[in-house]
Amino acid sequence: MTEQLYYDLHLHSCLSPCGDNDMTPSNIAGMAALKGLDVIALTDHNSCRNCPALLRAAAHFGLVALPGMELCTMEEVHVLCLFANLNDALDFDAAVYSHILPIDNDEALFGQQLYYDENDAVCGTEPRLLISATDIPFADVFDFAARYHGLMIPAHIDKSSTSLLSNLGFVPPGSQFSCFELQRMKNLHRVRRDNPYLEHCTVICDSDAHYLEHIHEPEHTLLCAERTPEAVLAALTSAP
């Protein structure tokens, strides 16, 4: 028994300095449910630390939720890393943290980086600037995420900055990823025509929302065997 699930797998909470402070885990889950989505993922810059709160809120609203991160590589390529299991995501988070450039966040310049607990209350702030690059090369991300049973998805590859195609210019030989993300589905033909590697990958289209109102309406679906994070990851790696 398979079903089409409406998804938005690229969302930022108030832990991302550029994320609106109304993007609390509970507000995100509530808005996603209101819009009629089935599956969401929280992908803050270089951090999974608001995922425990998001997963709890999502369960309250009956959503499937995946813990995730938008990792910034040393080439400043943004890559989504998604997990089925929260502990795997938090272990990955701890491993990534030591690779973030040691720059302090300037709240006046970049915004606050707020941690939320499972009761949707602020429980701390992150001192290190999360939007800076890590020292992890793009070529290492697949194996790094896989060590924690995570799936890498090059983010918004049709974007003119911080993307695989804008910053590297091509899909590197030896790449292993099997799913990529677009900002606009209308760019699919162009990116596949220019990069034959992508013909064999699954494509997703997410909002990259930093504000509640930018979370996607139910428009993009994934064919999943069941309503579980594991089935969503499996759908993301099945042939297009």
Provide the binding-site residues for Zn ion, judged by CB under 5 A: 70, 78, 155, 208
Q: Which is nearer to Zn ion, 150 or 231 (CB)?
A: 150
Question: CB of 165: closest distance to Zn ion in angstroms?
Answer: 13
d(CA 80, CA 71): 6
Question: CB of 161: closest distance to Zn ion in angstroms?
Answer: 9
Q: Which is nearer to Zn ion, 59 or 211 (CB)?
A: 211
Contacts of 121 (CB under 8 A, 6+ apart): none
Chain position carrying tokens 């606009």: 184
Q: Identify the CA nearest to 44 among candidates 54, 35, 31.
A: 54
Question: CB of 11: closest distance to Zn ion in angstroms?
Answer: 8
d(CA 209, CA 216): 8
Q: Which is nearer to Zn ion, 19 or 229 (CB)?
A: 19
Q: Which is nearer to Zn ion, 162 or 231 (CB)?
A: 162
Q: Which is nearer to Zn ion, 55 or 155 (CB)?
A: 155
Residue 98, Cβ neighbours under 10 Å: how many? Answer: 9
Q: Identify the CA nearest to 155 among candidates 143, 167, 173.
A: 167
Question: CB of 60: closest distance to Zn ion in angstroms?
Answer: 24
Q: Which string of DSSP letters, residue by residue, matches 61-74?
A: TT-EEEEEEEEE-T
Question: CB of 2: closest distance to Zn ion in angstroms?
Answer: 29
Q: Which is nearer to Zn ion, 21 or 87 (CB)?
A: 21
Question: CB of 153: closest distance to Zn ion in angstroms?
Answer: 11
**Within a 13 Å sphere around the CA of 37, how many CA atoms are in the beta-carbon half?**
26
Question: CB of 155: closest distance to Zn ion in angstroms?
Answer: 5
Q: Which is nearer to Zn ion, 181 or 231 (CB)?
A: 181
| 79 in Cβ contact with 71 (< 8 Å) | yes
| 191 in Cβ contact with 198 (< 8 Å) | yes
CA separation, residue 131 to residues 35, 101, 112, 237 (Å): 28, 10, 12, 27
User: In the complex, which residue's CB is closest to Zn ion?
Assistant: 78
